[in-house]
């Protein structure tokens, strides 16, 4: 028995280490781990029973005492680490130190994820070991922390070809979204694509936005600098259906229109067309009107009836030069509190902008929501080529450049609209009230392809469209993208950086080292 005890001790150590390795790297083999632990335990007990005197004598030596002290310190340190990890697991805190917060889910994404109406299953097809798989897991964890309505399954296409065939997936990195009867696939697992896919599968009704056509408005299909293709694509990513509208053919705004956008008409509308737009608003419709300087398009009388004064002028802002823009291209940072502007946080830029003012009108709620800078003014005599502020003629800044008008529209079935209705009927029938919304902005180029992605232009345009279409979940800041932020140095700064980084600091370290070496050599 005494001769077998050393072998039992070594066996206990070897099987104990093997059990630990199996548990860490092959957690699915639970039975094998238990077998190794059992063998290690039996051998350890045999060794301690047979060699108990030698073990007790060894524990009383100075080396053993020091070793036990070190072991206690190690276990205390491990206990502290475990406690910190437990606290970190139950109380997660993230710090995003990137300039544009690219690792933080945008307010729009957070709003959509927190308000999902039903369960969404996400099936992602990534190979095990692919770095993109880890990036996707990190991104989708942010969504799961916001809601319990999301279920995620990761599938390795090489190991589960049957699932790949079931979903009809043909590329690595594809992600399938399912909710109710809705299903959609995306090929890139970015925050923008994930959020848009969530919208698509959880919205059973696709809202429709029309763009007026036939008066040389900016083309929603054109990819040129003046086109609106980016604006159209952004609306479609938000799950809107976007179509052109020719009022001269239809004679009225379609009943399925959730919003109508009129983007920079260069020709006057017919009276019948303006009457159709007016009728649409009086039925509780929503219109976004973008009118450039020097373009009246016949809207002046119509806008006056809706409590808006649009002047024939041009907003001049000398401070735009500080931002590298022309003085006729104001950069707007002063906004009023309104759902459209709330939370954007970025400036917007408008090339060739005119003033738009609210007129206090009975029965209408009017609000000016965007203003140019305090040093700006609206120049009336802009066609002369020489601009200067003329008090009493020009409108001094801050100049309003966007107005929102709302009007309550009571339906024909409302009891209040029937003067002959009895008091009992008026009490029994609740009033059916809709609200018409009209937003007028003194420029249309800010949402063109050339300016759409600058500053907060895209967010402001999309927020306005979403508010008009009564999609409150979409009124926020869109997912951020990583910015390219190069460091630009002058010739003097570059030379100084080279001298300090390459010559002065390394040279000082070398000289200090030589001094220490020489001092030790002379001892």
pLDDT digits (tens, 9 = 90+) for 441-482: 999 999 999 999 888 888 899 989 989 998 876 666 555 555
The secondary element (H helix, E strand) that includes residue 366 is strand 365-371
Per-chain mean pLDDT for the chain? 84
Cα 113 from Cα 145, distance rounded (Å): 9
More confidently predicted of 92 and 169: 169
Longest dimension (CA), the chain: 117
Q: 107-200 belongs to which CATH class?
A: alpha beta
Q: What pLDDT was estimated at residue 428?
A: 45
Q: What pLDDT was estimated at residue 414?
A: 46
272 band by pLDDT with thresholds 50, 70 and 90: very high
- What CA–CA distances, in Å, run from 310 to 257, 302, 305, 401, 406? 26, 11, 12, 9, 17
Q: Report the Cα 508 to chain-centroid distance in Å.
A: 48
Q: Average pLDDT, stretch 236-254?
A: 91
Q: What pLDDT was estimated at residue 416?
A: 45
Fold matches, 107-200 and 208-470: no
More confidently predicted of 321 and 374: 374
This prediction has a pTM of: 0.63
Q: What pLDDT was estimated at residue 169?
A: 84
Q: Tens of pLDDT along 351-362?
A: 889 999 999 999
Cα 240 from Cα 232, distance rounded (Å): 9
DSSP letter for 419, please: T
Contact 448, 228 (CB under 8 A): yes
3 state DSSP class of 406: strand
Q: Tens of pLDDT along 156-212?
A: 998 898 988 888 888 888 999 998 888 888 888 888 788 888 887 887 778 899 999
Cross-sheet strand order for the sheet of 395-396: 314-316, 377-379, 395-396
Domain ranges of the chain: 5-90, 107-200, 208-470
Q: Report the Cα 255 to chain-centroid distance in Å.
A: 32
Cα 314 from Cα 379, distance rounded (Å): 5
pLDDT higher than 90, residue 130: no
pLDDT higher than 70, residue 107: yes
Q: What pLDDT was estimated at residue 393?
A: 87
pLDDT higher than 70, residue 323: no
Exposure string over 57-80, b if 16+ CB within 10 A, otherwise e: eeeeeeeeeeeeeeeeeeeeeeee
Q: Average pLDDT, stretch 422-427?
A: 48
Q: 208-470 belongs to which CATH class?
A: alpha beta
Strands (E), 395-472: 395-396, 400-410, 433-441
Q: Which of 178-182, 250-254, 411-415 has the lowest average pLDDT?
A: 411-415
Token pair belonging to 228: 């609106």
Cα 243 from Cα 224, distance rounded (Å): 19
**DSSP codes joined into one string, 185-234:** EESS--HHHHHHHHHHHH-SS--EEEEE-SSSPPPSS--STT--HHHHHH
3 state DSSP class of 43: helix
Q: What pLDDT was estimated at residue 324?
A: 65
Token pair belonging to 279: 């009728």
pLDDT higher than 60, residue 94: yes
Cα 211 from Cα 206, distance rounded (Å): 16
């Amino acid at each position: 028995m005494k001769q077998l005890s050393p072998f039992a001790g070594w066996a206990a150590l070897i099987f104990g280490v093997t059990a630990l390795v199996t548990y860490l790297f092959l957690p699915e083999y639970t039975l094998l781990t238990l077998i190794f632990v059992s063998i290690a335990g039996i051998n350890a007990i045999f060794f301690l029973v047979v060699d108990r005197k030698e073990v007790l004598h060894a524990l009383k030596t100075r080396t053993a005492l020091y070793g036990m002290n070190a072991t206690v310190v190690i276990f205390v340190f491990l206990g502290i680490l475990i406690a910190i990890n437990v606290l970190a697991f139950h109380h997660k805190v993230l710090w995003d130190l990137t300039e544009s917060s690219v690792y933080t889910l945008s307010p729009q994404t957070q709003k959509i994820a927190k308000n999902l109406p039903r369960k969404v299953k996400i099936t992602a097809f990534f190979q095990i070991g692919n770095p993109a798989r880890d990036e996707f897991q990190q991104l989708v964890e942010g969504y799961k922390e916001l809601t319990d309505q999301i279920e995620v399954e990761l599938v390795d296409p090489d190991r589960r070809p049957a699932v790949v065939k079931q979903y009809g997936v043909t590329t690595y990195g594809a992600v399938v979204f399912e909710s109710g009867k809705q299903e959609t696939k995306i090929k890139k697992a970015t925050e923008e694509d994930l959020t848009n896919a969530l919208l698509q599968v959880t919205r059973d009704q696709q809202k429709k936005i029309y763009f007026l056509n036939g008066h040389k408005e900016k083309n929603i299909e054109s990819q040129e600098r003046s086109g609106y293709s980016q604006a159209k694509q952004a609306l479609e990513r938000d799950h809107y259906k976007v179509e052109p509208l020719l009022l001269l053919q239809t004679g009225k705004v379609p009943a399925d229109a959730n919003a109508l956008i009129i983007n920079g008409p260069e020709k006057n509308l017919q009276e019948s067309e303006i009457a159709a737009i007016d009728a649409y608003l009086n039925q509780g419709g929503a219109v976004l009107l973008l009118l450039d300087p020097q373009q009246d398009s016949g809207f002046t009388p119509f806008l006056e009836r809706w409590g808006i004064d649009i002047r024939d002028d041009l907003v001049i802002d000398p401070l735009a030069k500080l931002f590298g823009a022309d003085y006729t291209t104001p950069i707007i940072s002063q906004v009023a509190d309104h759902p459209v502007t709330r939370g954007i946080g970025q400036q917007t830029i408008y090339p060739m902008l005119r003033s738009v003012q609210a007129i206090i009108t009975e029965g209408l709620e009017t609000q000016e929501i965007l203003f140019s800078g305090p040093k700006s003014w609206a120049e009336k005599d802009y066609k002369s080529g020489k601009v200067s502020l003329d008090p009493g003629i020009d409108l001094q800044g801050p100049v309003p450049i966007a107005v929102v008008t709302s009007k309550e529209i009571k339906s024909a079935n409302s009891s209040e609209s029937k003067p002959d209705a009895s008091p009992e009927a008026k009490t029994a029938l609740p009033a059916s009230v809709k609200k018409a919304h009209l937003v007028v902005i003194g420029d249309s180029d800010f949402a063109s392809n050339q300016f759409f992605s600058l500053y907060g232009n895209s967010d402001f345009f999309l927020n306005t469209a979403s508010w008009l279409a009564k999609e409150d979940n979409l009124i926020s800041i869109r997912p951020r993208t990583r910015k390219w932020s190069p460091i630009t140095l002058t010739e003097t700064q570059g030379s100084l950086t080279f001298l300090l980084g390459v010559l002065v600091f390394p040279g000082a370290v070398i000289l200090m080292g030589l001094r220490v070496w020489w001092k030790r050599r002379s001892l």
